[in-house]
Amino acid sequence: MMKKTTINDIAKAAGVSKTTVSRYLNQKYANMSETTKNKIEATIAKLHYQPNRNAQSLKTNQSYLLGVSVADISNPYTPRLLKGINDYLQSTRYQIMIMDADNSVQLEQANIQKLLRDEIDGLLLQPLNNQAKNYEQLIASGLPTIQVDRYLETSNWSAIVSDNFKKAAEVGALIQAHHYQHVIVLTNSIQYISSRKNRLSGLKAALQTSNINIQVLNVDQEQDWQTILVTAAQQDQKTVIYALNGSLLWETIRTLRSAEIDFPTDVGLLGYDDSGLADLITPGITSIMQNPHQIGKLAACKLVKLIDNPKKTKTEKTEIPTSLIERASL
């Protein structure tokens, strides 16, 4: 049986002390030269050394595990968010446990309880509800938590989100510039999701002094929403459809084409393009491009800093800019 490589082996091969190797593994680089760091790194790679995470946890009283609770892992937005998180954490000691709430508040709560039992060091949370009462156990635990994409109405947790209100106001200005008379807002349930609320309220704020009519179509409440959408799109008004997420944008395209409703000839169309494909169809879709990779990367960075320095990290909401790209669908 091959002997497992130890810290002593690394120290001997690199020509440094065991203490120096230990400091390197724990990312305590103060007073450590770049030459020494590079030598230890090269020796670890050469000897295929893998630190024992359980042993490290006993010494530092940390698990080096971070939880990531996402609303729906099948959403095109989510893989890019997770990629950003993982890209940042590759340079740290932390590993992640990903939990999919599958858009179920009950499952989300069960997932959070499991993560707490597993003694994670921190949590990246894409909340399914904006009410703090739904996260009482998590709040009471004092676990370092950063919100991504969405946020609670009241909490002591920082949040990294898109500039939804601002971009929705730009959408409203664009709709006015194209002289539309009627806007159909296509959305999932909106009451408890901050991102959806901001995407609607920004539009309303931009159009409040206009004569443009806003019709909100909730696909979670209307079982036959496709028929309602087609009927509304065929009204004798210049109409535009605004889909509040990427999945709904593509469902809308499928519905319109099945009903032989053309855009922009019969109806205008725009929405969030979380899969980056809106320019690959004809005509190209006017869309809002988010940056979930940047959101994930910054959120992971802030969570690690919060774990390391809980008293020095202030609570704040950071908005990551999005891009409104106009194409031929309006």
DSSP code string of 200-233: HHHHHHHHTTS--EEEEEETTT-TTHHHHHHHHH
- Give the pTM: 0.82
Above 90 in pLDDT, residue 120?
yes
CA distance 216 to 193: 15
| Among the listed residues 118, 160, 159, 161, the one whose alpha carbon sits nearest the alpha carbon of residue 141 | 118
What is the number of residues in the chain? 330
Taking only Cα atoms into account, the Rg of the chain, rounded to an integer number of angstroms, comes to 24
CA distance 286 to 242: 10
In the prediction, which pLDDT does 60 show? 53
Mean pLDDT over residues 279-285, rounded? 94
Answer for the pair 35, 20: CB distance below 8 angstroms, yes or no.
Answer: no
Residue 16's contacts (CB-CB under 8 Å, 6 or more residues apart) are: 36, 39, 40
Above 80 in pLDDT, residue 194?
yes
Better-scored residue on pLDDT, 124 or 310? 124
| Among the listed residues 203, 196, 190, the one whose alpha carbon sits nearest the alpha carbon of residue 246 | 196
Better-scored residue on pLDDT, 2 or 298? 298
Better-scored residue on pLDDT, 5 or 208? 208
Above 60 in pLDDT, residue 59?
no
